[in-house]
């Protein structure tokens, strides 16, 4: 697959192997350890990963456990104007292509926007849409959480031209046939082929340390968006993923307890409504770093999980299991060896270190 042309000429995407190099002995065990999943694993968020254009470092970061990426993914609208290496963007899109599509059509198209003039025209559409919907939202909802989101959106609108990369996710073909009535499920099936790809793209960005946000308001007018991007009638713009190195950081989000939104067999039957969640967090309106809860009965002889410090940055590392020779560091995004392989064991009981 050819690379995008950058300032220094054409660039090629990263290789599709897991880390861009031969894995060291025992490395695989840290990514997909054998045996049962960890019973209690604290997911702590630190400062955002530093920007990088090193292929090996990017592939190492992409080895982040999928649960950690999901639990800490959030909309990052405030991003720096620093450029993103073209190969990183292509790697994220390459992973987006792994998502399923309806009837396996694989009918995606992605327009990567870097030109400031094109971004300015999309920003004008964004501002028109926000004038309508943002003003309405400020009148309807005035709680603190919504106010913070609105301020974040306003920042993105004001600095839209400065965002390094916009990935416009499109679909080839359409579900509308002239003079033929369409069932409502047709639209659902059609757009269901692009949003799994957009989520893959966002998860890849989160793992690498890029800030990502999914937006649709710049595409308020399909006709105008086609004109701006010079899309043929056979290509439909669906959503935009804005990418940049974050000013803030990823972390946990306020979410409803799972038992309050799950129904069994028929709507209204909620047998799990009062069940304790499998992840510890303060649900709305508070926020807390999520962690998997140990639901086994207490025993006197249970051993604390191994915890050691990362040899690269000194952060506490929580391995997937006691026997794992290496583990993922959430702060610096690197693999670090266990204490028997050179890492330092963190002082104090595991429970104290986990809450630090």
Instruction: Output the domain CATH number for residue 191.
Output: 3.40.109.10
Tell me, yes or no, whether 316 lies in a domain.
yes
Same domain, 197 and 317: no
| C-alpha dist (Å) from residue 111 to 14, 19, 233 | 19, 26, 15
In which domain, by residue range, is 179 found?
65-244
pTM given for the model: 0.68
Phi, psi of 85 (to 5 degrees): -55, 135
Structure-token pair, residue 12: 């090629």
| 217 contacts: CB under 8 Å, gap ≥ 6 | 125, 126, 129, 130, 133
Same domain, 211 and 115: yes
Closest CA to 303 of 352, 356, 355, 351: 351
Same domain, 35 and 106: no
Closest CA to 298 of 42, 43, 39: 39
Same domain, 222 and 351: no
**What stretches of 27-102 show up as alpha helix (H) in DSSP?**
27-31, 55-61, 66-72, 86-96
Same domain, 205 and 299: no
Counted domains in the chain? 2
| C-alpha dist (Å) from residue 173 to 22, 185, 254 | 41, 16, 37
| C-alpha dist (Å) from residue 69 to 93, 179, 207 | 17, 45, 6
Largest CA distance in the chain: 72
DSSP 40: -
Residues 63, 28 contacting (CB under 8 angstroms): no
Same domain, 78 and 194: yes
Q: What is the pLDDT at residue 332?
A: 63
DSSP 326: E
Q: Specify the length of the chain in residues.
A: 356
The secondary structure element, H or E, covering residue 350 is: helix 350-354
Same domain, 84 and 216: yes
Same domain, 296 and 228: no
| C-alpha dist (Å) from residue 86 to 3, 52, 92 | 7, 12, 10
Tell me, yes or no, whether 35 lies in a domain.
yes
DSSP codes of every residue in 139-205:
HH---HHHHHHHHHHHHHHHTGGG-SEEEEEEEES-S--TT----HHHHHHHHTTTHHHHHHHHHHH
Same domain, 101 and 197: yes
Q: What is the pLDDT at residue 248?
A: 82
Distance between CA atoms of 225 and 269, rounded to whole angstroms? 44
Tell me, yes or no, whether 9 lies in a domain.
no
CA dihedral 183, 185, 189, 194 (to 10 degrees): 100
Q: Show the low-confidence residues of the chain (pLDDT under 70).
A: 1-48, 175-179, 276-308, 315-335, 337-356
Same domain, 178 and 135: yes
Answer whether the bond into residue 197 is a cis peptide, omega within 30°. no
């Amino acid at each position: 697959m050819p690379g995008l042309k950058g300032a220094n000429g054409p660039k090629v995407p990263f290789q599709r192997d897991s880390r861009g190099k031969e894995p060291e002995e025992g490395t695989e065990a840290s990514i997909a350890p054998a045996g049962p999943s960890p019973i209690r694993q604290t997911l702590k968020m630190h400062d955002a990963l530093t920007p990088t254009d090193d292929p090996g470092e990017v592939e190492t970061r992409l080895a982040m456990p999928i649960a950690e990426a999901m639990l800490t993914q959030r909309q990052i609208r405030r991003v720096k104007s620093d450029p993103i290496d073209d190969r990183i963007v292509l790697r994220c899109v390459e992973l987006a292509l792994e998502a399923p599509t309806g009837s396996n059509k694989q009918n995606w198209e992605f327009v990567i926007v870097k030109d400031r003039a094109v971004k300015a025209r999309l920003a004008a559409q964004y501002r028109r849409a926000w004038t309508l919907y943002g003003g309405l939202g400020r009148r309807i909802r005035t709680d603190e959480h919504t106010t913070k989101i609105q301020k974040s959106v306003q920042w993105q609108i004001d600095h839209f031209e400065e965002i390094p990369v916009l990935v416009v996710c499109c679909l080839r073909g359409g579900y509308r046939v002239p003079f033929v009535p369409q069932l409502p499920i047709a639209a659902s099936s059609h757009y269901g082929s692009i949003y799994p790809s957009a989520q893959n793209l966002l998860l890849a960005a989160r793992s690498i340390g890029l800030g990502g946000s999914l937006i649709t308001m710049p595409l308020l007018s399909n006709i105008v968006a086609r004109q701006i991007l010079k899309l043929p009638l056979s290509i439909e713009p669906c959503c935009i993923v804005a990418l940049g190195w974050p000013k803030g950081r990823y972390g946990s989000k306020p979410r409803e307890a799972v038992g309050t939104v799950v129904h069994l067999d028929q709507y209204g039957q909620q047998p799990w409504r009062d069940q304790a969640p499998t992840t510890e967090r303060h649900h709305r309106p508070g926020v807390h770093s999520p962690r998997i809860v140990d639901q086994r009965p207490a025993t006197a002889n249970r051993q604390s999980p191994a915890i050691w410090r990362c040899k690269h940055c000194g952060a506490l590392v929580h391995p997937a299991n006691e026997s794992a020779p290496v583990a993922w560091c959430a702060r610096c995004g690197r693999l670090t060896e266990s204490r028997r392989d050179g890492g330092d064991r963190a002082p104090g009981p595991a429970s104290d270190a986990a809450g630090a």
